[in-house]
Amino acid sequence: MLLHIENVLTPEQVAQCRRRLAASDWVDGRITAGEQSARAKRNLQVPEGSDASRELGELILGALGRNPEFVSAALPLRVFPPLFNRYDAGMGFDTHVDNAIRFAGPVRYRTDLSATLFLSDPGDYDGGELIVEDTYGEHAVKLAAGDLILYPASSLHRVAPITRGSRWAAFFWTQSMVKSDEQRTLLWALDQAVQKLTLKVGQADPEVVSLTGTYHNLLRMWVEV
């Protein structure tokens, strides 16, 4: 499932992130890449574990926890502490697949879902689209600052080269309580249908109660905690 989630951060929070990042050091982004990705990656990153990375990561994790769309789609068990990257003119990231396991200190994260949270508006740069491949072809993504794209970490994807300006973003991975993308997609669709039906007929309607029970029983069947 490829999902665009709007307004994860407010404009004020985006501005806060950009001010903090502008005052931070940037290093070669290959320091967090696997062997395959390192050969394809041309960008800059704020060092993992830096004060800025921790501060802004906590801001983003708090926003994600309050976002019902993210919670419903990702069913997060663990969210990897967000990292921050920058693509300037001439930089890009060739086609790759994200590492299956990431480490944050002693904690291991299975990367079920990848996410990019845009911190630059589309008019600030040319190129820089996140291009995700799936069974239906390629999807080019370039979102407003504060918006997030969520997609299976197993997907082939790349960042198109920047030809003007600079693209700033946060990126991270989620270990879901439901490992299968197909199962998560079904649960997401069912949850969305239940919410829409609830708005029409109320929470106490027998069909809403029945569908809600089905959702939770499927979740109980598939969840891994």
CATH number of 204's domain? 4.10.860
Give the annotated binding-site residues for 2-oxoglutarate: 167
Q: What is the pLDDT of residue 41?
A: 85
Q: Which residue ranges are tagged as binding site for Fe cation?
A: 96, 98, 157
pTM flag (> 0.85):
yes
Residues of the chain under the 70 pLDDT cut:
32-38
- The whole-number pLDDT of residue 30 equals 75
Alpha helices (H) in the chain, listed in sequence order: 11-22, 35-40, 51-65, 68-74, 181-201, 206-222
Q: Do 60 and 152 belong together in one domain?
A: yes
Specify whether 37 is located in the same domain as 97.
Answer: yes
Q: Write out pLDDT tens, residues 65-79.
A: 999 999 999 999 999
Query: Does 156 share its domain with 56?
Result: yes
Q: Does residue 142 sit in the same domain as residue 191?
A: no
Q: What is residue 81's DSSP assignment? A: P
Q: How many folded domains does the chain comprise? A: 2
Q: Which residues on neighbouring strands pair with residue 76, listed in sequence order?
A: 176
Domain that includes residue 107, residue range: 3-176
Same domain, yes or no: 168 and 193: no
Q: Which residues are annotated as a binding site?
A: 96, 98, 157, 167
pLDDT of residue 40: 79
pLDDT at 5: 98
Q: What is the CATH number of the domain that holds 132?
A: 2.60.120.620
Of the candidates 68, 62, 77, the one whose C-alpha atom is nearest the C-alpha of residue 192 is 68
Q: Are residues 165 and 117 in the same domain?
A: yes
The verdict on 111 and 159 lying in the same domain is: yes
pLDDT tens per residue across span 151-202: 999 999 999 999 999 999 999 999 999 999 999 999 999 999 999 999 999 9
